[in-house]
Amino acid sequence: MAAESEASQLGSCTKDLEAYRCERYGKQFVFVDTPGFNSSQSQTMVLRKIAHMLETTYRRDIELTGVIYTHRILDACISSAELSSLGLFAALCGGAAAPRVRLVTTMWDETDIESAEETESTLKAEQWKSLLDAGARYERFHNTHESAWEIVLRLGDNMKALLLQRELVDMRMEFTQTTAGSQLLLGVTQNMPSFPYNPRETIQFSKIKPTDIVILVLGMTGSGMSNFINKLTGMPAEIGTDSLGSCTTKVNTYACDRDGRRFIFVDTPGFDSESQSDTAVLTKILHWLRTTYQKCIDPTGVIYTYRINDTHECATELTSLRIVAALCGAEAADRLRLVTTMWDNVDEEIAKGTEVRLKDDVWRLLLGAGSCYERFNNTEGSAWDIVLGLGDTKKALVLQREVVDMEMKLEQTDAGRQILRETTRDRPSFPDIVRSSLNSISNIRPNDIVILMPPESEADELGSCTKDVHAYACYRDGKRFVFVDTPGFNNSSQRQETVLRKIVLWLKATYQRSIMLSGVIYTHGITDEHVSREEMSSFRIFTALCGDEAADRVRLVTTKWDELDSGSATDKENDMKTGPWGSLLNVGAHYSRFDNTTESAWRIVLELGETKKCLLVQREVVDMEIDWYYSTVGIRLQQEVCTRMF
């Protein structure tokens, strides 16, 4: 709540910042009363007090819902001192926060309405015009409780950081270097106040949020990556952007607000640089990608820039593009945009020939896998058309999964291996998708689709294939599926109690991390002549593990249909559904066939949907703090052991 002036007969009522808390409609409102800019204190003192409060709150991730600037409608003329105060206020807020600003006239109950409305028109058409045009809004305050709350409630719930906050914290400026601080040096002025140009904001890792739209910009040195970001953020072109030299030597991250969304643009060093090796460049990019992935921040897009005036193919360009393809992976192919630049520096007819060659030859495999081609015409509009065309879909890149989920070193990743490859003119393509082994429960996220797959029996001639609980990640349609492979309950090399304990401990640890299961798949070979005593025992233990409430998450699946006559197999199928599996099917479990094809496997998994539930054993050992041995499944295990003994 900023007062424009208190240099009047009323004097200053507020000497320091004071915050008041108020509850309304179930929400907590905090109102911050500030000293007036033209009070008994100097403007510098007032602005420093406000700056200290804004910096402190912003460092605690607290942003403002609104800023209200009040003006007495009694004052028919605005003095130069008041214009200076309003200029400070505008510099404090910045253009990006203009929609959060309310310019409010007061004391309507103390003036002639006709003359007040004339003053109001002058304010809106002259002194406040540029502020209102930038997105600020005008309001009347009629000195009533209802009028005050109407102004506040119309602000809504959106929050925005002020320019002064970003300058002090994100850009690490001294107070005197900030836009508002610099404005103090101008002193009294007759210029109409306006929101200052918003400088491009360099943002730290800690300030990037999962809701941000993150765009990674890659390319060869001198291909116009920084210039592309300059156009997006409204910055003038940097010196050297039209040359082949590198302007960017480290990963720089910039934030920009548009249409109520925050975009994060990641400017990276170019490949094939004279100042650093491709390994050094990829290492810097990898550090950024690893850190954001660990914070559950996935990119919305990857933009690869190419100079259209490079009419001849070179091996280093192909190597750079192979690195980018390997960095993205096939699953994120639709997030990649191959963008040609420098169209204003070349003969268009010659450039069109290069464009056709790129699309039909060099980039053919990448475009065929789902990537898209775009032209950048060196304008702000062209840059934003490319970015907005990516939409809001987010996907992790294969390099992120390799170094975080699979704990690979850079040289072990697909992108790292591309650097070590001998120079070749092979056309770039996305690497095949491989199953990621998750070596730690900490690599599993609550938004993963987790499927538990306990085999019903391993007491056969093949012996046991699985000794411990292992989790594997696989990506499909932008979602990460985690398949959990466990030892069989009738494992020939481990006691049943040992196997069950491993499974329960894994389930306990994941549930404590708020990770619940989307499904449990239990398999049985349809070729088996009959259900053995051991298999029935395993199934009863499995049923006790899940519980009735999670039965709808269970899929009872028959396998090996390609090894048996369909007629006899159907009879066995009916026997399983009405016999051993009948009780679990009756409480919500579902039955499926697996036809030994990829399509059949995914059909079973996708039919589970994304609903998540905890199993009975998880509730018992975590929520109810029951020792697993005395849980429902633990007691069932003891009963099965006793039955086998007698």
Residue 194 lies in a domain: no
Read off the CATH number of the domain in which 212 is found.
Answer: 3.40.50.300
Residue 198 lies in a domain: no
Query: 332 to each of 210, 371, 399, 433, how far by Cα in Å?
Result: 17, 9, 11, 11
Cα separation, 253 vs 267, in Å, equals: 6
Residue 196 lies in a domain: no
Closest CA to 473 of 495, 509, 430, 441: 441
Q: Which two tokens stand for residue 58?
A: 């912003």
Cα separation, 374 vs 326, in Å, equals: 20
Asked if 477 and 604 sit in the same domain, the reply is: yes
Read off the CATH number of the domain in which 158 is found.
Answer: 3.40.50
Q: How many domains does the chain have?
A: 3
Q: What is the residue range of 223's domain? A: 205-237+247-424
Q: Which residue has the tokens 């994120």?
A: 332
Asked if 114 and 82 sit in the same domain, the reply is: yes
Asked if 182 and 214 sit in the same domain, the reply is: no
Residue 7 lies in a domain: no
pLDDT for 281 equals 92
Rg (CA), the chain: 32
Local mean pLDDT, 10-residue blocks, the chain (646 residues): 47 72 87 78 83 89 90 78 82 86 91 88 88 90 92 89 85 81 64 59 78 94 89 62 55 84 91 86 93 91 93 76 90 92 88 91 90 94 94 91 84 84 62 60 83 62 61 78 83 77 93 94 83 86 94 93 76 87 94 90 92 95 93 92 75
pLDDT for 427 equals 63
Asked if 210 and 310 sit in the same domain, the reply is: yes
Q: Which of 424, 445, 480 is where one domain is finished?
A: 424
Closest CA to 57 of 35, 94, 36, 30: 30
pLDDT for 245 equals 47
Pairing of strands 261-267, 252-258: antiparallel
pLDDT for 628 equals 92
DSSP state for residue 241 in the 8-state scheme: T
Helical residues (DSSP H) of 559-628, grouped into ranges: 566-578, 582-586, 598-606, 616-618
Helical residues (DSSP H) of 462-532, grouped into ranges: 496-512
Closest CA to 640 of 508, 497, 494: 497
The reply to whether the predicted model has a pTM over 0.75 is no
Q: Which two tokens stand for residue 286?
A: 């990898």
Pairing of strands 372-375, 336-341: parallel
Nearest 5°: phi and psi at 572?
-65, -40
Cα separation, 581 vs 383, in Å, equals: 59
